[in-house]
Each structure stands twice: as structure tokens, then as C-alpha cells.
């Protein structure tokens, strides 16, 4: 679980299912598309209609569906490489797509950056195939449909169809350009109609996203222009990843649409001061495709150094794969709520986050936000004391549990809470997952230890 994939998807949909009009309390459109949220709403509504409401069960179904969807990338990369290169490259690319260490970690998440991957890849490759065949330009229409659908999921992928447009324009493929544009514009029209039905404004998601992003380009994580390039070289396992540059360059003539779509995507995101690693996820399958295709096109593909770097990459990837496959992030935020969801007589919950500001995904214990009392700063203890006195005058046990977030030592916070609420009994210490532990050890100043303590209040 990350922030956006839960609080902007699962939490919102759960609110809708419970009659809470999140995002629709007023007529102001939100700065994002809602097509994906509507799809998840349909899934969770269907599960609810057949009696599946337990958050853990719902999320298992949700994760399995996302895993199967993301696995479509494997045959897509395999057959694309087989068509444009050779059988050996197809096996390498298909294998890399199937066991690349980051795929299991991200593929099951409700991240629009990952959900749009098969659409982006399939759209670009379909256009590439039709350019090579030079058969029916009308098939370009479906390439526009696929990239338009990706745009509906993740608006920032608009860079890719824009790059395709200019590539076809430069090649003077007028019929193909018209067919592709009609497909993309069809999906843009559908997006506009959905926005109009939702908020009464045509293409509100596009205009409000652009407005919001223009105001937030210096927010969150900002860094130098080449940050994304360094990130790509890092996640593709150096020094092997350094071969990405010459191998990708080798594809410019045979795979011009793929090459320029990826280059445009990286350049545009590099020019924006705000740098978040997840922004690169939509083109990750394209990078694997171009890397493998480029390797098959160079004359020195079987050089001894190249073979050695391939072996190094496979070895490191195999070591990292179990870590990302068998572990999940934010365990300390999710597990206490899962425990409380299966605990009887749970009333209000105190969350002490004075050491590290966190918001809990209250969906996992199926309780409204109003049942959580957060403590973020010292003065919040006084607020808790006043509220506790007010509630105890009308309710015997207003607060039944407390969750403390701290780096290794919860005792100071526990004593502060006991002075207000009474005796706290430790129910469970939720330790960080291996992935969270490694991140903390790598950079303890930036990454919180991500552990929590669940107490019952007597």
C-alpha cells in the first residue's frame, strides 16, 4: 500500500459504497480522471452484492485481478520482440518482463501508473506493427484507442500519443495520422462525456489536472533535471543498465515510434522540477522492450563483456526478486487495522503519530474517519484529554484501542497516553516488513522504521 493507490482509489470507492460523497460534496471537479475509480467501484460493488465485504478478502480479489492484468505485458513483450527481432531476443525480453524484480511489487497495486502499462505498450506496438506492414492504415485507429484509454487512466501519458502524432507527421503518413488521431480523439470525447456527467464540465479532469500540476511543480520531491535518467539506470541494475543508452539508440530506425515515445516521455518528465520515481512506471515495459530489441540489433551483442553483464543482471535480479515478491510496504499501517477489524467491541481509536506523521487506511477496519483521534503534535494531547473527559461523561469506554508509531521506542508516547486514558496493554508489536526494514537501514534519516504498537485501553 502506498498513499495514492489507497487514499485516492480504495478509500474513495469505499466511501461511495457507504453513501459518503467523497469528491462530490460540491460541484468543484477534482484534478484527476475518475474512470479507474469507477471501475474499482464496479468491482467492489459486485463483491459486496455477493456477500464479500471483508477488506482482506476484497483486497485479495482486487490484487489477483491487477496481477493478471499486469501479466498481459509478458506475452505482449514476447510477441513484439519475436516480430521485430528474433526468437532469442523474445525469450530474453519475455523472461525479463516476467521475473523483473520490481514487477511483483508494483503489479498488484491500485496505481494508475501501473494499470496503464499494458495500454501504453499495446498502443505503441500496434502502431509500430502497422507501420512495418504498410497494409491497412485503418488499424492505426485502434492504436489511438489504446493510447487514449491509457490517457483516461493516467492523464500524464498524453505525452506518448503526442509523440506518436509528431512521428507520423514527420514521416508524412497522412492516412495513418488521420486514423490514429480519430482513435485518440474518440477516447478524448468519451473522457469529456464522463467528466460532464460527473461534474457538469466537459474534460474537467484534463483542465483541472493541468491547473493543479502547474501549481504543484515545485511541491513534493524536486530534484535536478537528470534525476529520472539516474533512476532508470539504477532500477535496471548497473552497470548492466548503462547498456540501455546505446541499445535504445540502436532502435531509432527500426522502431521509431517506440523510441521517440519513450524519449519524449522521459524528456518531458525531466523538464518538470517535481520528481517522483513512480512517474516513470508507465514506460517501464517499453524500456524493457527497447533494451532487449536494441541488444539484438547491435553487432557486439555476444561480446564477452556483454554476456558477463547479462549474467550479473540476472544474478542481482534473482536476489532481489524474493524481497519484492514476498514483502509489502506499510505493514505497520495496515496490520493493526486488520487485527481490529476482527476484534469485537472496538469503539474509538487513538493514533499517536507525534514521531512520524501518518494517516491510517481506515478501510481495513471498516470504521469511519470520525472514530480515529489523531495526535500529531504536543498540543493534540491536551485536545485528546478534553475530548476524553467529554465523552466519558456520556459513554463508558469511548476509546478502546491506541496505535503508536515510533522509531523503536514507544515508551514516552505510551506514558503520555496512559496519563490521559488509563492503563494501556500491549496487544501486538507490528514490526516492519523486510522491504521497509531495508529502506530504513539504507536511509534512516529519511525512511521511518515503519513499525507500530497496538494497545488495548483499560
Q: pLDDT truncated to tens, each residue of the chain (458 aa)?
A: 456 788 999 999 999 999 999 998 877 888 888 999 999 999 999 999 999 999 999 999 999 999 999 999 999 999 999 999 999 999 999 999 999 999 988 999 999 999 999 999 999 999 999 998 877 777 899 999 999 999 999 999 999 999 999 999 999 999 999 999 999 999 999 999 999 999 889 999 999 988 888 887 777 777 888 999 999 999 999 999 999 999 999 999 999 999 999 999 999 999 988 888 889 999 999 999 999 999 999 999 999 999 999 999 999 999 999 988 887 888 899 999 999 999 998 999 999 999 888 889 999 999 988 899 999 998 999 999 998 888 887 766 789 999 999 877 899 999 999 999 999 999 999 988 887 877 777 666 666 778 899 999 98
Using DSSP, state whether 274 is helix, strand or coil: strand
Instruction: Please give the Cα distance from 100 to 285 (Å, whole number).
Output: 10
Instruction: Please give the Cα distance from 124 to 151 (Å, whole number).
Output: 13
* pLDDT in the model for residue 445: 62
Which one, of 213, 314, 198, 298, lies nearest residue 249 by Cα?
A: 298
* pLDDT in the model for residue 412: 92
According to DSSP, the residues that pair with 429 across neighbouring strands are 453
Backbone angles phi, psi at 445, to 5 degrees: -70, -30
Instruction: Please give the Cα distance from 53 to 45 (Å, whole number).
Output: 9
For the question of whether the overall pTM of this predicted structure is more than 0.85, the answer is yes
Please write the tens of the pLDDT for every residue from 186-210.
999 999 999 999 988 999 999 998 8
Q: Which three cell numbers stand for residue 35?
A: 474512470
Instruction: Please give the Cα distance from 452 to 161 (Å, whole number).
Output: 45
Instruction: Please give the Cα distance from 302 to 92 (Å, whole number).
Output: 13
Instruction: Please give the Cα distance from 362 to 414 (Å, whole number).
Output: 22
Question: What is the Cα Rg of the chain in Å?
Answer: 25
- Strand ordering across the sheet containing 348-352: 372-375, 348-352, 399-405, 452-457, 424-430
Q: Which three cell numbers stand for residue 140?
A: 492505426
Instruction: Please give the Cα distance from 92 to 295 (Å, whole number).
Output: 10
Q: Which three cell numbers stand for residue 305?
A: 563483456
Q: Which three cell numbers stand for residue 16?
A: 461511495
Residue 290 CA: distances (Å) to CA of 77, 147, 262, 431: 10, 18, 9, 40
Length of the chain counted residue by residue: 458
Strands 452-457 and 372-375: unpaired
* pLDDT in the model for residue 446: 61
124 CB-near residues (< 8 Å, 6+ apart):
143, 147, 160, 164, 257, 258, 261, 286
CA 11-16-21 angle, 5° bins: 105
* pLDDT in the model for residue 393: 77
Instruction: Please give the Cα distance from 118 to 125 (Å, whole number).
Output: 10
Amino acid at each position: 500500500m502506498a498513499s495514492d493507490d489507497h487514499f485516492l482509489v480504495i478509500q474513495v470507492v469505499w466511501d461511495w459504497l457507504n453513501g459518503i460523497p467523497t469528491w462530490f460534496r460540491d460541484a468543484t471537479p477534482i484534478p484527476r480522471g475518475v474512470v479507474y475509480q469507477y471501475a474499482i467501484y464496479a468491482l467492489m460493488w459486485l463483491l459486496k452484492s455477493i456477500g464479500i465485504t471483508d477488506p482482506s478478502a476484497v483486497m485479495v480479489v482486487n490484487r489477483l485481478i491487477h496481477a493478471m492484468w499486469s501479466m498481459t505485458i509478458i506475452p505482449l513483450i514476447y510477441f513484439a520482440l519475436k516480430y521485430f527481432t528474433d526468437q532469442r531476443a523474445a525469450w530474453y525480453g519475455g523472461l525479463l518482463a516476467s521475473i523483473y524484480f520490481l514487477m511483483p511489487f508494483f503489479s498488484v497495486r491500485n496505481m494508475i501508473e501501473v494499470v496503464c502499462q499494458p495500454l501504453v505498450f499495446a498502443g505503441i506496438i500496434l502502431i509500430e506493427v502497422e507501420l512495418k506492414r504498410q497494409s491497412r492504415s485503418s488499424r492505426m485507429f485502434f492504436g489511438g484507442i489504446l493510447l487514449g484509454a491509457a490517457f483516461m487512466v493516467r492523464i500524464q501519458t498524453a505525452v506518448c500519443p503526442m509523440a506518436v502524432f509528431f512521428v507520423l507527421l514527420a514521416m508524412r503518413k497522412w492516412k495513418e495520422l488521420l486514423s490514429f488521431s480519430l482513435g485518440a480523439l474518440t477516447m478524448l470525447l468519451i473522457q469529456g462525456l464522463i467528466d460532464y456527467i460527473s461534474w457538469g464540465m466537459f474534460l474537467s479532469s484534463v483542465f483541472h489536472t493541468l491547473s493543479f500540476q502547474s501549481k504543484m511543480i515545485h511541491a513534493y520531491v524536486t530534484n535536478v533535471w537528470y534525476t529520472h535518467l539516474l533512476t532508470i539506470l539504477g532500477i535496471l541494475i548497473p552497470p548492466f543498465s548503462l547498456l540501455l543508452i546505446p541499445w535504445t539508440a540502436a532502435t531509432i530506425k527500426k522502431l521509431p515510434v517506440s523510441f521517440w515515445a519513450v524519449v519524449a516521455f522521459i524528456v518531458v518528465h525531466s523538464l518538470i522540477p517535481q520528481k517522483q520515481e513512480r512517474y516513470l512506471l508507465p514506460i517501464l515495459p517499453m524500456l524493457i522492450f527497447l533494451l532487449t530489441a536494441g541488444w539484438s540489433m547491435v553487432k557486439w551483442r555476444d561480446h564477452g563483456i556483454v554476456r558477463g553483464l547479462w549474467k550479473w543482471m540476472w544474478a542481482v535480479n534473482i536476489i532481489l526478486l524474493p524481497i519484492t515478491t514476498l514483502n509489502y510496504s506499510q505493514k505497520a499501517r495496515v496490520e493493526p487495522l486488520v487485527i481490529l477489524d476482527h476484534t469485537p467491541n472496538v469503539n474509538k481509536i487513538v493514533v499517536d503519530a507525534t514521531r512520524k506523521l501518518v494517516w491510517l487506511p481506515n478501510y481495513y477496519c471498516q470504521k469511519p474517519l470520525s472514530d480515529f483521534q489523531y495526535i500529531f503534535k504536543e498540543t493534540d494531547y491536551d485536545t485528546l484529554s478534553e475530548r476524553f473527559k467529554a465523552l466519558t461523561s456520556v459513554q463508558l469506554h469511548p476509546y478502546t484501542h491506541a496505535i503508536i508509531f515510533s522509531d523503536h521506542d514507544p515508551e514516552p508516547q505510551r506514558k503520555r497516553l496512559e496519563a490521559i486514558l488509563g492503563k494501556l496493554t500491549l496487544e501486538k508489536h507490528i514490526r516492519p516488513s523486510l522491504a521497509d526494514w531495508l529502506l530504513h537501514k539504507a536511509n534512516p534519516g529519511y525512511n521511518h522504521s515503519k513499525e507500530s504498537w497496538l494497545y488495548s485501553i483499560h
